[in-house]
Structure 1
């Protein structure tokens, strides 16, 4: 099957932005609340968990490198079980994209456009996502490649100028203040963020130089970990764990501490450029996977006819979710991690069953 090609360099740059996006922007307060000064340890554990996920996921994908799991999965599980899993994935990816879109809508409306209805933000971003996805998955990765350096530059500028505002005496707390309970709770919450690397199994046929994929993913996880840790450490040094965990958007509050001479009041535009870009790319890939799986289930050769109709569903779902920011936050902090473990564990289940089947066939052949 002929597919478009995504280079390993594009994969690395995209995954860095992908991991960075919602973890720093929307999840930092809850992560700090759970982990306190153990946040650095928790992030390292989460990245190790991601490498393990990547190892097994790529091992599964390499067994049929030119085929999509939505096609070959029926060779591993009975057809009806495979279809149930794919329908679940289709809804899950659509739900995740709608959830992130709703978080972005709430952030923008509450912070900058209080008189603007959520649907206006949702429709604008949803339309941009739909146009991007209709152009193909390679467009998403090329966009990430082009925007990566702007995102990282903005992040470096923010962290560089906030340095003089930090309370450096708090450094000792990273050495002395440890709690096994905090590490456990924080790790349980963080591993699913990095565990989203399992989306590689759905993208594997698009990748060039497939043999280098695991190495590329590990590089991406390591570099993303560095940028995420840098932001989390600066938040803790500036606010401490209590104030940071009680801020809705602690990164925004950190940026507002920055003053450059007398002509730049703050660097909000830099932060907005980072969040808008990273969130747009994450929504795009999740939405694309939902469209792709649905097209495969209906045996369509082209995903484009489904894009705008499913984008309308995504925007509508984001507007109807829960009933408010409080309910969304409650789901995110109480149920999201367990829900994600189930989603991310399905490819490992495919690998396990496929390995058992291959072992039995090999035994019979001998």
Structure 2
């Protein structure tokens, strides 16, 4: 199979948007609720967890840099173990794309289109995802590269215009207010976002200059923390931890504080549309990986025939994954992190088993 080419610069910019997207939009309220002023420390520890997982995944992928884990995994584990693992990954990525899509549907319907059914939003979003998935990873990363500067400029502008509204006397709380329980609970609910760096295992054959991948992930984690923490700091200084944690979408409320002269009273529509592109990128990546896994399991030469049928499955899952907003929030904050940690540990099993097999092989050759 001919692999596409993704540069390290594209990988760096993509992962910054990838980490930034759902954590800021959908996860900020819960993280502030459990961690409060320890949220910055939680972000740093979570990023460190993601970097460690990325190191392990890259170490495994470098041993067969031009092969896909779906194919070479049978050399590490027997097929009766490997194939179920890959099937679980397929379901996980497809479900994750549906989960984020449902979060986006609820957001749009509640805030901007209250009389629009979820299925209409899901279908419109799903068609765009399907078309992009048919184009492949290379085009998705190029889209992210082009959107990166627009997203970051919008975020920086947002922070600058809101600066005058902040209550700077709250700064001292970042030094004095700490809770071990808050750090542990916040780390549990946040680290899995950065642990999603395991997707590198499925992207590695597409990368150029593979030896620089770990450096790119470290830089992406650093800049992601910079952009995410700046938003969290602004939320805490603007609303305080109690109010921010009880807002459904605190980032939206913060954006609504922007006032530029008398002719621009509200920029939330513009900035939310920019942020929505990062959600689209993450949904499309998860969905495309799930399509690729299924096509490789069935030894198909082209993944495109599967795209539209799996898009229908993704949209159906997004509509039926939860009965309402409260259940959706509970699923996103309680159940999903546990599932994510389980999935993020599977590549470590492959690494350990492959290391053991290589060690045994070397000893056998020496003897």
TM-score, length basis structure 2: 0.99
- Runs of 4 or more consecutive aligned structure 1 residues displaced over 2 Å after TM superposition: none
Deviation at 1:2? 2.9
Find the aligned partners of 2:85 and 2:355 in 1 and give their Cα distance. 18
The separation in 2 between residues aligned to 1:273 and 1:142, in whole angstroms, is 19
- Pairing of 1:275-314 with structure 2 (within 5 A): 275-314=275-314
Does residue 339 of structure 2 align to residue 365 of structure 1?
A: no
Q: Which residue of 1 aligns with 2:9?
A: 9
Residue 251 of structure 1 pairs with residue 286 of structure 2: no
Deviation at 1:274, TM superposition (A): 2.7
Q: Does 1:51 align with 2:51?
A: yes
Q: Is the 8 A contact 1:155 1:274 kept in 2?
A: no
Structure 1 residue 14 displacement after superposition:
0.4
Instruction: List gaps (5 residues or longer) in structure 1.
Output: none
Is the CA contact 1:35–1:185 (under 8 Å) kept in the aligned structure 2? yes
Aligned to 2:302, the other structure's residue is in SS state coil
Q: Distance in 2 between matches of 1:251 and 1:270?
A: 13
Q: Which residue of structure 1 aligns with residue 274 of structure 2?
A: 274
Q: Is the 8 A contact 1:30 1:333 kept in 2?
A: yes
Offset at residue 259 of structure 1 (A): 1.1
Secondary structure class of the residue paired with 2:301: coil
Task: Judge conservation of contact 1:38–1:182 (CA < 8 Å) in 2.
Answer: yes
Cα shift readout 1:52-89 (whole Å, capped 9, x = no counterpart) = 01110100000000000010000001101100000000
Please say if residues 43 and 190 of structure 1, whose CA atoms lie closer than 8 Å, have aligned partners that are also in contact. yes
For 1:308, what is the secondary structure of its paired residue?
helix
Partner of 2:34: 34
Counterparts of 1:217 and 1:118, CA distance in 2: 35
| 2:163 aligned partner | 163
Q: CA deviation digits over 1:163-218, x for unaligned, max 9? A: 00000000000000001111111111111010000000100000000011000111
More off after superposition, 334-343 vs 58-67 = 334-343
Distance 1:267 1:168 in 2: 24
User: CA contact under 8 A between 1:252 and 1:271: conserved in structure 2?
Assistant: no
Structure 1 residue 273: Cα displacement: 2.0
Spell out, residue by residue over 1:92-125, the C-alpha distance to the aligned partner (whole angstroms, 9 max, x if none): 0000000000000000000000011111110011
Contact kept? 1:158, 1:267, Cα under 8 Å: no
Query: Could you tell me which residue of structure 1 aligns to residue 262 of structure 2?
Result: 262
1:60 corresponding residue in structure 2: 60
Give the superposition deviation at 1:344: 0.6
Q: In the alignment, what sits opposite 2:92?
A: 92
Between the aligned partners of 1:2 and 1:256, the Cα distance in structure 2 is: 47
Residue of structure 1 in register with 2:218 after alignment: 218
1:36-185 pair list within 5 angstroms: 36-185=36-185
Cα separation, 1, equivalents of 2:45 and 2:185: 12
Counterpart of 2:150 in 1: which secondary structure? helix
Superposed CA offset, 1:275-329 (max 9, x none): 2100000000000000000001111010000001100110111011111111111
In structure 2, how many angstroms separate the alpha carbons of the residues matched to 1:121 and 1:189? 28
Structure 1 Cα separation of the partners of residues 112 and 2 of structure 2: 45
The TM-score with structure 1 as length reference comes to 0.99
User: Alignment RMSD, CA only?
Assistant: 0.7
Q: Secondary structure at the match of 1:335?
A: helix
